[in-house]
């Protein structure tokens, strides 16, 4: 993973805390403009890397698309363009409100994009682990060309549509299209209804695969472990042990993949200390030694 998002967030938070402390001691700085919501959003989106002294510029365009679009993007009739984010050298991210249901919005792009030589592509591993619950499709023009990902978030009588156009092959999901299913044997794991999932992490390949996520939910760790255990069981995993200790619940598992290889794994759900409704979940599987 090229950017540690937690590291970037920590730097931003330290800066904000330092600013607050300075103002408490010295009062409001003179000669400085009042911070705006736009400035805050831009600062939070700026990516940084360990050892780098510079922040990348992340232009935000309210209510419009970039002038220099890398693709001819079709827009549904009646759509409201919320705005765009430009990640220099990496891609463009666009937010729309469209007067369609999520499935209808995705079907619009399934019909409109093939005429421009886009092909809907299944990306290995993208349907495994703690995946986002909202419908998503990815289009490719080959491994080294831009990718286009459409995610549909349901709203009342409309859809919040997020479109990501990746212009850097190193960041494009299309470059993974020929890879083996690197998160095997972990199945798709859907979050409980009404929860919010974030901080997804995944690693895989070879003889081990692991996925984790943080959830905001009123469900405690014990009930959350049961929720994901049911999904592992439905994916033909067999429970071999279980337990609970304080804020954590866990279970041990075994499964055989489509190649006849046996994997041993575990599931952990943890109530995060200091946060009333945040939980951490982790699933890991390791290939059994012969």
Per DSSP, 25 falls in state: H
Percent of the chain with pLDDT strictly greater than 90:
44
Residue at a domain's end among 179, 205, 223: 179
Q: Is residue 184 part of a domain?
A: no
Q: Is residue 188 part of a domain?
A: no
- What is the pLDDT confidence band of residue 290, given thresholds at 50, 70 and 90? low
Output the pTM of the full model: 0.56
Which of these, 182, 194, 183, 201, lies nearest to 280 by C-alpha position?
Answer: 201
Q: What H or E segment, with its residue span, contains residue 45?
A: helix 37-45
135 shares a domain with 229: no
The total domain count for the chain is: 3
- What is the pLDDT confidence band of residue 59, given thresholds at 50, 70 and 90? confident
The answer to whether 150 and 134 have CB atoms below 8 angstroms apart is no
208 shares a domain with 161: no
7/4 Cα distance (integer angstroms)? 5
210 shares a domain with 126: no
Cα-based distances in Å from 82 to 95, 97, 152, 162, 195: 5, 7, 14, 10, 25
Q: Which residue has the higher pLDDT, 96 or 49?
A: 96
Peptide bond before residue 185 is cis, with ω within 30 degrees of 0:
yes
Half-sphere CA count of 97, side-chain side, radius 13 A: 7
**Which domain, by its residues, includes 202?**
196-287
What count of other Cβ atoms lies within 10 Å of the Cβ of residue 74? 13
- List phi, psi (to 5°) of 25: -80, -45
């Amino acid at each position: 993973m090229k950017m540690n998002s937690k590291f970037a967030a920590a730097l931003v938070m330290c800066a904000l805390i330092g600013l607050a402390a300075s103002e408490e001691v010295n009062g409001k700085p003179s000669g400085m403009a009042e911070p705006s919501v736009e400035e805050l959003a831009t600062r939070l989106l700026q990516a940084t890397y360990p050892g780098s002294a510079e922040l990348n510029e992340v232009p935000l365009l309210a209510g419009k698309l970039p002038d220099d679009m890398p693709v001819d993007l079709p827009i549904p009739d009646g759509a409201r363009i919320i705005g765009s984010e430009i990640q220099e050298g990496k891609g463009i991210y666009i937010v729309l409100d469209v007067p369609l249901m999520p499935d209808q919005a995705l079907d619009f792009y399934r019909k409109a994009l093939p005429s421009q030589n886009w092909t809907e592509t299944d990306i290995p591993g993208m349907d495994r682990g703690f995946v986002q619950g909202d419908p998503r499709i990815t289009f490719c023009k080959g491994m080294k060309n831009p990718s286009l990902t459409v995610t549909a978030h349901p709203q009342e009588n409309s859809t919040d549509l997020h479109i990501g156009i990746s212009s850097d092959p190193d960041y494009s999901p299309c470059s993974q299209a020929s890879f083996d299913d690197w998160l095997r044997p972990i199945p798709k794991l859907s979050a409980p209804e009404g929860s919010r999932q974030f901080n997804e992490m995944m690693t895989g390949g070879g003889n081990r695969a692991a996925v984790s996520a943080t959830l905001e939910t009123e469900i405690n760790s014990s009930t959350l472990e049961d929720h994901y255990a049911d999904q592992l069981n439905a994916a033909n995993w067999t429970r071999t042990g279980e337990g609970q200790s304080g804020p954590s619940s866990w279970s041990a598992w075994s499964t055989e993949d489509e190649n006849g290889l046996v994997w041993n794994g575990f599931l952990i759900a943890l109530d995060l200390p200091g946060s009333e409704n945040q939980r951490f979940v982790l699933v890991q599987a390791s290939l059994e030694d012969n």
